[in-house]
């Protein structure tokens, strides 16, 4: 893929990540824009008449400290070194990769004043799978993701650590192996590398893509549970949803009908006239989460099309403007919203699990043939309840919090990085909740045999039963649950996406 100054979409990123050939290159037009911006800045600085924040001044509260021309390169190196203060766990590899790609993309718009060779080295990192070691804690989400991006930038100057070919090593050792020389940064480059929202945005795009995949899986798991519970299809009739036309709701109802329309179990005569909300309101709940996720996609796509460092250079207008594009509030709010949307999918999933083990609708208590002697599926629901509750706690919004920093110069921050890291925890928990529901749904469907569920669901159910077979008598279940999580995490859509 060629990276240019044209807009990049999330779908293009998803396609790149799924490709066997992930190599990227810098387009000629992007090189020209980057070089033009750099040349303009060098010319302007050589005049020695302007005071420009972060280029010939200190940073943050030290913005009024003028830096001599001869010290401007050292200023950028000092910036990266001093801001690399990350703590906590390491950022997952797939998110560090996205950070590299997103930083390249932001610099390609030609408003940041970096050298072409600096951007090319970031591309080299991507192409050779050289992943800087970045930590999850340290960013306030304004002035951008300073600390995580400092760790991302350190290897450019031959410092910090990377992971390469399965080994953690110093950037200096990596450079020696690759035959690379450290980049000699010019004025403004350190600030361009550190200012920006690429940590928050990388988390957001990763979670979004996985969350969208899980909405498809969630519909299918819910359909299996509904069938196992002898649920009714009336709540999915299109007429109901035409009169409340939320797109996600309409899509979900249609999906449920297509998945279960030919189910042998559904066609069994029912004595009950209504189902609990966790089944009856699947379109309304799943649909609302889908609509929320779709909104978050629009926010992340806009951010992907933007420049989020500071100051920004406008060559044609002969302007260098210092503003606040690094502020992560748009992402912080969206990430909090995304966490809530994902958590609700898990919350209703746990309720369906609870209903399946309740000993109603002709199913044995705890989905085991000999309840009492065997506890069956009693305790996986405890685990699900614990996880669902943790998700509710993680959904306390980060974006409403702020703590002043830099001696009160940076007096309102987004806390978007905290929103990002806890949103990933919610996503991971959602996989676990769907896994537990799938264990219970497949177990319950055994008691409906020889009747079978819908044709569209049978391949997934058969594949899952190879991983987690029927529980006839009590056995150690954590291994089954862990295998179920792996199944959920690796599941891909087995049929064409159902059109809403």
Structure tokens at 37: 């911006």
Query: Which tokens belong to 38?
Result: 């750099």
Residue 170, both tokens: 């110093």
CA distance 214 to 218: 6
Strand partners, 319: 314
CA 135 to chain centre: 16
> Of these residues, 40, 53, 109, 164, which one is catalytic?
53
Whether residue 53 lies in the annotated active site: yes
Whether 25 and 19 have beta carbons less than 8 Å apart is answered as: no
- Nearest by Cα to 102 from 134, 69, 79: 134
Three-state secondary structure of the chain: CEECCCCCCHHHHHHHHHCCCCCCEECHHHHHHHHHHHHHHHHHHHHCCCCCCCCCECCHHHCCCECCHHHHHHHHHHHHHHHCCCEEEECCHHHHHHHHHHHHHHHCCCCCCCCHHHHHHHHHHHHCCCEECCEEECCCCCCCCHHHHHHHHHHHHCCCEEEECCEEEEHHHHHHHHCCCCCCCCCCHHHHHHCCCHHHHHHHHHHHHHHHHHHHHHHHHHHHHHHHCCCCCHHHCHHHHHCCCCHHHHHHHHHHHHHHCCCCCCCCCCCCCCCCHHHHCHHHHHHHHHHHHHHHHHHHHHHHCCCCCCCEEECCCCEEECCCCCCCHHHHHHHHHHHHHHHHHHHHHHHHHHHHCCCCCCCCHHHCCCECCECCCHHHHHHHHHHHHHHHHHCCCCCCCCCCECCCCECCCCCHHHHHHHHHHHHHHHHHHHHHHHHHHHHHHHCCCCCCCCHHHHHHHHHHHHHCCCCCCCCCCHHHHHHHHHHHHHCCCCCCCCCC
Q: How many Cβ atoms sit within 10 Å of the Cβ of residue 252?
A: 28
Q: How many CA atoms lie within 13 A of 278 on its CB side?
A: 21
Helix 10-18 with 198-228: angle, nearest 10 deg: 80
The CA-CA-CA angle for residues 297, 145, 106, to 5°, reads: 60
CB 152 within 8 A of CB 100: yes
- Annotated catalytic sites, by residue? 53
């Amino acid at each position: 893929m060629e990276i240019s100054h044209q807009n990049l979409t999330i779908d293009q990123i998803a396609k790149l990540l799924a490709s066997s050939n992930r190599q990227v290159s810098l387009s000629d037009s992007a090189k020209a824009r980057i070089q033009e911006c750099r040349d303009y800045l060098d010319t302007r600085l050589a005049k020695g008449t302007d005071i420009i924040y972060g280029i010939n001044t200190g940073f943050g509260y030290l913005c009024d400290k003028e830096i001599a021309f001869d010290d401007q390169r050292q200023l950028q190196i000092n910036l990266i070194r001093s801001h690399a203060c990350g703590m906590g766990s390491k950022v997952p590899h797939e998110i560090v990769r996205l950070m590299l790609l997103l930083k390249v993309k932001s610099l390609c718009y030609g408003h940041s004043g970096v050298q072409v060779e600096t951007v090319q080295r970031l591309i080299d990192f991507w192409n050779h799978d050289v992943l800087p070691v970045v930590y999850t804690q340290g960013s306030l989400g304004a002035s951008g993701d300073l600390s995580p991006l400092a760790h991302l930038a350190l290897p450019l100057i031959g410092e910090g650590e990377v992971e390469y070919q399965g080994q953690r090593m110093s950037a200096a050792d990596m450079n020696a192996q690759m035959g690379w020389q450290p980049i000699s940064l010019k004025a403004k480059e350190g600030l361009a590398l550190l200012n920006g929202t690429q940590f928050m945005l990388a988390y957001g795009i990763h979670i979004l893509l996985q969350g969208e995949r899980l909405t498809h899986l969630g519909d299918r798991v819910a359909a299996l549970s509904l069938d196992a519970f002898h649920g009714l299809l009336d709540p999915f009739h299109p007429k109901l949803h035409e009169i409340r036309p939320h797109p996600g709701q309409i899509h979900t109802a249609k999906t449920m009908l297509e998945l279960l329309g030919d189910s042998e179990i559904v066609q069994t005569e029912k004595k009950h006239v209504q189902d609990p909300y966790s089944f009856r309101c699947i379109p309304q709940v799943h649909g609302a989460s889908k609509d929320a996720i779709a909104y978050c996609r629009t926010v992340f796509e806009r951010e992907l099309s933007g420049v989020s460092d500071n100051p920004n250079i406008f060559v044609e207008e002969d302007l260098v403007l210092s503003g606040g594009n690094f502020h992560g509030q748009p992402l912080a709010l969206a990430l909090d919203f995304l966490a809530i949307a994902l958590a609700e999918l898990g919350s209703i999933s746990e309720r369906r699990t609870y209903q399946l083990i309740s000993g109603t609708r002709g199913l044995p208590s705890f989905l085991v043939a000999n309840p009492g002697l065997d506890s069956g599926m009693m305790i996986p629901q405890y685990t699900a309840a614990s996880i669902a509750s943790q998700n509710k706690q993680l959904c306390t919004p980060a974006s409403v919090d702020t703590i002043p920093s830099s001696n009160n110069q940076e007096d309102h921050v987004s806390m978007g990085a905290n929103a990002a890291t806890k949103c990933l925890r919610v996503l991971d928990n959602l996989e676990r909740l769907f896994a537990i529901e799938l264990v219970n749904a497949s177990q319950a469907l055994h008691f409906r045999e020889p009747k079978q569920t819908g044709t569209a669901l049978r391949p997934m159910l058969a594949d899952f039963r190879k991983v987690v077979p029927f529980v006839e008598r009590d056995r150690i279940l954590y291994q089954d649950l862990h295998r179920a999580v792996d199944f959920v995490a690796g599941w891909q859509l087995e049929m064409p996406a159902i059109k809403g």
